Amino acid sequence: MIERIAILGTGLLGTSVGLALRAAGYRGSIAGWNRTPEQAEIALQMGAIDSVAKHFLEVGRKCDVVLLAVPIHVTIDFMEQMAGLLGPHQLVTDVGSTKREIAAAATRLYNREGRAAFLPGHPMAGKERGGASLADANLFRGATWLFTTPREMKGTGFSPYHEEQSESAALAPEAISPRATELIREWRDWVAKFGAKIVDLDPARHDELVAWVSHLPQFISTALSALLEEQVGGAPELKEIGGRALREMTRLGASPFSMWRDIAHTNTAQIDAALQAFEQRLAHLRENLRTPALRDEFDQANRFRS
Amino acid sequence: MIERIAILGTGLLGTSVGLALRAAGYRGSIAGWNRTPEQAEIALQMGAIDSVAKHFLEVGRKCDVVLLAVPIHVTIDFMEQMAGLLGPHQLVTDVGSTKREIAAAATRLYNREGRAAFLPGHPMAGKERGGASLADANLFRGATWLFTTPREMKGTGFSPYHEEQSESAALAPEAISPRATELIREWRDWVAKFGAKIVDLDPARHDELVAWVSHLPQFISTALSALLEEQVGGAPELKEIGGRALREMTRLGASPFSMWRDIAHTNTAQIDAALQAFEQRLAHLRENLRTPALRDEFDQANRFRS
């Protein structure tokens, strides 16, 4: 049923989705739009899209599925601009790294009578540098693709909620049209064909979990890289001494602020809590450099990796 | 001139040195000793050594070069036991991860008339798990091999000290015999043939530097792994969500306490200072999750990786 797809944002993720769709056998059209047209031209040359759109609203109106692959604040901005122009025969989905604010916007603006369906998504894949030219049809192979199916999709068969957290949040399933329900099913099938493992999570649980397993490691690597730049940045031969271990621990230090600003802004409390817990853990280890408690920390760390 | 080598400790590093010597064309004998004889048998079967010694003192007395590849405290213990039994025609060297205490023992016990020469060394190579069976002839290729040539070797041509930090530490060059001087030259040549890049450092500067580029990343990874074991350890599917970034940031979490205990004990002040500086840096980042200062941290981290 999906015959026309619009990819709004042809950076690393958007362009990789286009390539993955083609590699998985998708034969419909893929229109691409990007704020800087050069990135869309690269995606076109790579075969990730087959046309470059001039304006995201125009192309969005004409497609069965609209994929938002732009920073989180732009995603919410586009959701607001598009909501009144799209219809119940359409599905909008995204790849944003935090999901509470996007899921709230989806409930507010989509997934109701006369409106398009919105399925918040988050592929746990990427590279420390962005851009269409680094895109890869296999970027999602073996990765987890999280969906935070909104509560109002209860009854459509996709929502994984086993227990009810808020009665008022459970809207009528007829808020999602049968056609949109089928588009959701098909989109999830394509994601599975990319080689990704689909996991459904509540939006709040999603943001809490990624604060631990994704945002915490990123901010640690950024702080470590920044500190070492101060300590040994002027002496490349000293960086080399650290070898593979140091390279790995600072690889994420190359990640761009432009992407992480929105994550820090939309998941502040959870990231703050994870960082504070880590600072306490590290201080505990430091205070026990010469006591037997150091063994307990190594033992527990070893268990995580076993 | 090097015809007989003893490798005391045939774990990952000792066995890899044996394999690297053979791969580089060394044709003399290599005797191996290990506290648990099974590891020495594995090294023998792998061709890293050609005989298994029953006692480290006996085999040490018969060799031109004795390589200590045991934990730091055992290294110092063996240095004390061997000092009076070896002679000025012999060279002892090691692979210990901290160098102040070992260099101090070298100055105290070796590098003087009638005694063997001692050249403290530290290859910046390893794996998160140890043992002879993981040994690799190419372990040192592209890695840095640090030497903290003691101050008393000034005048032998190996010591890189450009300025004098302590007049009293500069002993007479004749403390090192011409034969031992030649053994040092040859050993450094073999290390270069392993594919390693040799860097000479003052022992105190060595310990300060590795606290930043090696020990700090290790303890961060241990604390992160231990914390995440507490948070998501019971749910393997949640670990998977973190993907490559999380795997890299926690790989060192598998490192054994048995090795890091001695490092923590012999470099406590420097590690404590590096950890405190990092905790402050991370707290600064946390307090600025929603301010423009976050950009400065990302920019500085990006510079480290550029």
Phi and psi at A260, nearest 5°, equal -80, -20
Q: Are B136 and B202 in contact (CB under 8 A)?
A: no
Rounded Cα–Cα distance for residues A34 and A56 (Å)? 8
Closest to A290 (Cβ–Cβ): which among B250, B265, B297? B265
Q: What is the pLDDT of residue A183?
A: 95
| pLDDT reading at B168 higher than 80 | no
pLDDT digits 0-9 by tens, A249-286: 999 999 999 889 999 999 999 999 999 999 999 999 99
Closest to B298 (Cβ–Cβ): which among A125, A260, A275? A260
pLDDT mean over A107-121? 95
Closest to B268 (Cβ–Cβ): which among A214, A240, A289? A289
Q: Average pLDDT, whole number, for chain A?
A: 92
Q: What is the pLDDT of residue B106?
A: 96
Yes or no: domain B4-201 corresponds to CATH 3.40.630.30: no
Residue B265 touches chain A, beta carbons under 8 Å = yes
Q: What is the pLDDT of residue B156?
A: 59
Global pTM reads 0.89
pLDDT mean over B152-162? 57
CA dist A78 → A151, A207, B53, B92, B200 (Å): 22, 21, 73, 69, 58
A and B: number of Cβ contacts within 8 A: 272
Question: CA nearest B235 in A: which residue?
Answer: A304
Q: What is the pLDDT of residue B236?
A: 77
- CA B230, B235, B237 angle in degrees (round to 5)? 130
Residue B235 touches chain A, beta carbons under 8 Å = no
Mode of pairing for the β-strands spanning B144-147 and B121-123: antiparallel
Q: What is the pLDDT of residue B45?
A: 98
Determine which of A202, A252, A286, A296 to mutate to test the interface with B (most B C-beta atoms within 10 Å).
A286
pLDDT digits 0-9 by tens, A37-47: 999 999 999 99
pLDDT digits 0-9 by tens, A218-261: 999 999 999 999 999 888 778 888 888 999 999 999 999 988 99
pLDDT mean over A126-147? 93
Q: Are B105 and B94 in contact (CB under 8 A)?
A: no
Q: What is the pLDDT of residue A166?
A: 42
How many contiguous H segments (helices) and E segments (strands) does chain A have?
13, 9
Mode of pairing for the β-strands spanning A121-123 and A117-119: unpaired
What percentage of residues in chain A have a pLDDT greater than 90?
83
The ipTM (two decimal places) reads 0.89
Please tell me which residue, A125 or A169, carries the higher pLDDT value: A125
Rounded Cα–Cα distance for residues A217 and B146 (Å)? 30
Please tell me the least confidently modeled range out of A9-23, A41-55, A287-301, B239-253: B239-253
Rounded Cα–Cα distance for residues B303 and B306 (Å)? 5
CATH superfamily, region B206-305? 6-phosphogluconate dehydrogenase C-terminal like domain (1.10.3660.10)
Rounded Cα–Cα distance for residues A132 and A48 (Å)? 9
Q: What is the pLDDT of residue A162?
A: 42
Band the pLDDT of B22: cuts 50, 70, 90: very high
Which single residue is written with the structure tokens 């009810």? A164
- CA A14, A17, A23 angle in degrees (round to 5)? 150
Backbone angle region of B111, left / alpha / beta, with phi > 0 → left and psi within -120 to 50 → alpha: left
User: Where are the domains positioned within chain A?
Assistant: 4-201, 206-305
Chain A residues within 8 A of B210 when measuring between CB atoms: 241
